Amino acid sequence: MGLEMEPLLQAWSYFRRRKFQLCADLCSQLLEKSPGHQEPDSEFTVTQAAWSLKTRALTEMVYVDEIDIDQEGIAEMMLDENAIAQVARPGTSLKLPGTSQGGGPSPAVRPVTQSGRPVTGFVRPSTQSGRPGTMEQAIRTPRTAHTARPITSASGRYVRLGTASMLTNPEGPFINLSRLNLAKYAQKPKLAKALFEYIFHHENDVKNALDLAALATEHAQYKDWWWKVQIGKCYYRLGLYREAEKQFKSALKQQDMVDTVLYLAKVYFRLDQPLTALHLFKQGLDRFPGEVTLLCGIARIYEEMNNISLAAEYYREVLKQDNTHVEAIACIGSNHFYSDQPEIALRFYRRLLQMGVYNCQLFNNLGLCCFFAQQYDMTLTSLERALSLAENEEEAADVWYNLGHVAVARALLQTASSLAPHMYEPHFNFAALSDQVGDLQRSYIAAQKSKEAFPGHVDTQQLIKQLKQHFAML
């Protein structure tokens, strides 16, 4: 018996170390030694343990956190049948941008997304996800066997997840769902939960997952909150939001959990009831003080309702609890930038750089902050780094657009220095920009004019010294 347990313990070690493919392969070898491995017998044996462990490993390989990932395409927005009111009151809907008078920069100054929500320093699901360009394009898209609605960003992802079983095992799926006796498994709590997650996440068979969850809930005499949450997730995936709301509320009465609050808030988001979601989050904070996910949820709602000042307050509360929260740091930095405080925004983006965030968007924002804070020595360096890190044409276009602003600023500084030759500031700034773009001769001439206007300016003296070193090397 000891020799038989050794491979199983090794598979469990692989699972704990997140080496899921090795774990699944080892479990497959154990299951091949016993016939009928698709339906293990009732006793808790090595075969049953290996079967359960393999289902968990396969699930973890394709697992997606349902709390945060929620993409909404144009078809899902336009074909929504759950609208409460056709014309919502101002400040009560997420679909009416700019209805709240919460302060912050004007929408005319701050750029917004296609849906009219302010651009933040952090791209979240359902904010700037890829969407079809027109309504006609969304309607003409071929439909799938899983839904009667056109393919959207969300349903397309679920279809891709459903192909995971074919990629995992070339001989076919690990478990043949059509042959399973779900009522039999619903009476085995040790197996039912792992099987449900396998069906829901790996196979993407929401109907069978819902049937199993309903049978298991009935077997548990409706006293297991976990199964009620899973039923709510199935209803949400099927678009039955009111039924999902009932299940999540029932689960919260039995067991107070942060995840359940977040699932219920997702329902209210889809029903376009942000005030109800806010009330739910604040009730959750009374029971879970300082919970970062709840504070962040409140901040997101205020931000999407264009109440930027309140959103910034809650993001600061997030940072008090977790000073490495990337979304809060980026959003506060973005808010300071559009509030004409580029120096403060620069501190937040530098913090992200210190934390190890290294992408095109961060260096693009650093370059803009340096430019508006008149730190020209770092502006072009940051924008060049952003250009080298751009992964697609859209990102590169944003960087080139900002580089165009720098070039225009150089021309304006030249005009200012000609109109006011007695001022040292335009001469020095023009010299600094010219040095960055490699125009050393113009930079030296402008620096000399700056020195004539203000002989004691230390930065000008250092720039002239640096330029002379460049000339000496030529």
Residue 204 CA from chain centroid, whole number: 22
Domain extent listing, the chain:
1-62, 155-255, 420-474
For position 42, what pLDDT does the model report? 47
Residue 279: predicted pLDDT: 95
Exposure pattern of 292-303 as b/e (b: 16+ CB <10 Å)? bbbbbbbbbbbb
Amino acid letter at 339?
Answer: S
pLDDT of residue 52: 87
Q: How far apart are CA 234 and CA 224, in angstroms?
A: 16
Give the pLDDT confidence score for residue 110 in this predicted structure: 65
Helices marked H in 176-307 = 182-186, 189-197, 206-219, 225-237, 241-254, 258-270, 274-287, 292-304
CA–CA distance, 366 with 8 (Å, rounded to integer): 51
The sign of the CA dihedral 318, 320, 326, 331 is: positive
Q: Reduced to 3 states, what is the DSSP secondary structure of residue 376?
A: helix
Query: What are φ and ψ of residue 62, in 5° steps?
Result: -120, 15
- pLDDT tens sequence across 393-432: 888 888 887 777 777 666 766 677 676 677 666 777 777 7
What local confidence, expressed as pLDDT, does residue 123 receive? 66
Q: CA-CA distance, 136 to 117, in Å (whole number)?
A: 23
Q: 113-116 long-range CB contacts below 8 Å, 24 or more apart? A: none
Angle ∠(350,355,357) on CA atoms, nearest 5: 80
User: Phi/psi of residue 143, each to 5°?
Assistant: -90, 160
Residue 150 backbone dihedrals phi, psi, to 5 degrees: -60, 160
Residue with tokens 């219920």: 264
Q: What is the model's pTM?
A: 0.73
Of the candidates 302, 285, 286, 303, which has an alpha carbon nearest to the alpha carbon of residue 294?
285
Q: Are 233 and 210 in contact (CB under 8 A)?
A: no
Q: Other CB atoms closer than 10 Å to residue 397's CB: what's the count? A: 11
Residues 147-178: b if buried by 16+ CB within 10 A, e if exposed? bebbbbbbbeebeebbebbeebeeeebbbebe
DSSP state of 179: G
Name the CATH topology of 155-255. Answer: 1.25.40
Helix (H) or strand (E) holding 242: helix 241-254
Which parts of the chain have pLDDT scores under 50?
A: 1-4, 36-38, 41-43, 99-101, 128-168
Which residues does 50 contact at the CB level (< 8 Å), separation at least 6?
8, 11, 27, 30, 31
Q: What are phi and psi of 277, to 5 degrees?
A: -65, -40
d(CA 319, CA 130): 29
Determine the pLDDT at residue 413. 62
